[in-house]
Amino acid sequence: MKRVSLTQYLVEEQRQHQSINAELRLLIEVVARACKRISYSVSKGALGEVLGSADTENIQGEVQKKLDVISNEILLEANEWGGHLAAMASEEMETIRQIPSRYPKGEFLLLFDPLDGSSNIDVNVSIGTIFSVLKAPEGMQDPTEQDFLQAGSTQVAAGYAVYGPQTMLVLTTGNGVHCFTLDREQGSWVLTQSDMQIPAATKEFAINMSNQRHWHPPVQRYVDELLAGSTGPRGKDFNMRWVASMVADVHRILTRGGVFMYPADLRDTSMPGKLRLMYEANPMAMIVEQAGGAATDGQGRILDIQPTKLHQRVPVFLGSKEEVDVVTGYHAG
């Protein structure tokens, strides 16, 4: 098998499709290198003293795990000096991070969920990192939070790393979705799947069923119909999976199809859903659409949402197109 490294893939991408320039290529390499470091930390577990809680709270009101903090630091440190960024934002930080004045600034904004699936860290189940890249407004000196509030459709790249039995990097620069596997001996990312496509039809869904009593009627109806199986209105039996790490659930769907839902619920109308638009929903929506799937908030395309807050939350329905269309249609009806 001819091995194509991430570096070679990016160079060829720049040459053939011009979907990236040298600065974006550097950015992606730096993020991928940071994910490699996170992967090594994750895999050390107790031996690296990385498990457990950090006893601090983030802006989301969540108790931070040690790995939430470590991964955030790794990404900040790796990305501040290369000259490719104008500023960064993270799930774990209250406001945006400027590039220190001793370094040159670049044309991109980087947003990340440094460690996704925190509740799975201590039980040795798949976790990940999610990132999104936007262009900074022209001629920008010190970007403000406002400059980050761009619709997901303007993302120039998005991706995630999943730290599972294998460590993988899934990437899109708007020209399909490609998957790289970390070769630990060589320390390099090797292209292992090009042009990932989500099957349009599926018999698998992912949702945290423990919240069922709180769902809005369209979601109640949709899931009831899935559970009714082959004798119900959908005429087929559905299986269910819920890892509780969005990266792992999305990676399964990208690999073999499925529909993922984290809906809003009736408990707290000030908090529409759990997942964050800028760090989770937007990058995953870009990847899913690039792989032929769909992603909505129940009302419309996630990528069309005009953000109003950096840490904004949204309901999420994504994956195989037929199913996302059905559940989105129930919201309209």
Summarize as ranges the residues that interact with ligand AHG (CB under 6 A).
62, 91, 113, 116-119, 208, 244-246, 262, 274
Alpha carbon distance 292, 177 (integer Å): 10
Selected binder of Mn ion within 80, 113, 147, 204 (CB under 5 A): 113
Q: How far is the CB of 325 from ligand AHG (least distance, A)?
A: 22
Classified as helix, coil or strand, 216 is: coil
Find the helix packing angle between 22-44 and 66-80, rounded to 10°: 150
Mode of pairing for the β-strands spanning 127-135 and 157-163: antiparallel
Residue 107 interacting entry, from ligand AHG, Mn ion, none, C-beta within 5 to 8 Å by type: none
Strand, helix or coil at 71? helix
Give which of Mn ion, ligand AHG, none residue 286 binds (C-beta under 5 to 8 Å, depending on kind): none
Ligand-binding site membership of 116 (annotated): yes
- Ligand-binding annotation for 185, yes or no, is no
CB-wise, 92 or 204, nearer to Mn ion?
A: 92
The smaller minimum CB distance to ligand AHG, of residues 136 and 278, is found at: 278
- Please say whether the beta carbons of 206 and 249 come within 8 A: yes
80 labeled binding residue: no
Give the β-pairing of 188-193 and 167-172: unpaired
113 known ligand binder: yes
* Closer to ligand AHG by Cβ: residue 86 or 111: 111
Beta strands 259-262; 204-206: pairing state: parallel
- Which CB, 9 or 205, lies closer to ligand AHG? 205
Q: Is 92 annotated as a binding residue?
A: no
Select from ligand AHG, Mn ion, none the partner in contact with residue 311, using the beta carbon and a kind-dependent cut-off of 5 to 8 Å.
Answer: none
CA–CA dist 163, 161 (Å, integer): 6
Residue 122 touching Mn ion (CB under 5 A): no
Binding residue count for Mn ion, defined by CB under 5 A: 5
- Nearer to ligand AHG by Cβ, of 24 and 42: the residue is 42
Cβ-closest position to Mn ion: 116
Q: What residue has token string 């960024």?
A: 85
- Cβ–Cβ under 8 Å, residues 128 and 244: no
249 is a contact residue toward Mn ion (CB under 5 A):
no
CA distance 215 to 263: 7
62 binds Mn ion (CB under 5 A): yes
Q: What b/e string do you get for 43-73 counting C-beta neighbours within 10 Å, with b at 16 or more?
A: eeeeeeebbeeeeeebeeeeebbbbbbbbbe
How close are the terminal C-alpha atoms of the chain, in Å? Answer: 51
CB of 162 to Mn ion, least distance (A): 12
Annotated binding site for Mg(2+): 91, 113, 115-116, 280
- Binding site for substrate: residue ranges? 116-119, 208, 274
Q: Where do contacts with Mn ion occur on this chain (CB under 5 A)?
A: 62, 91, 113, 115-116
Per the annotation, binding residues are 91, 113, 115-119, 208, 274, 280
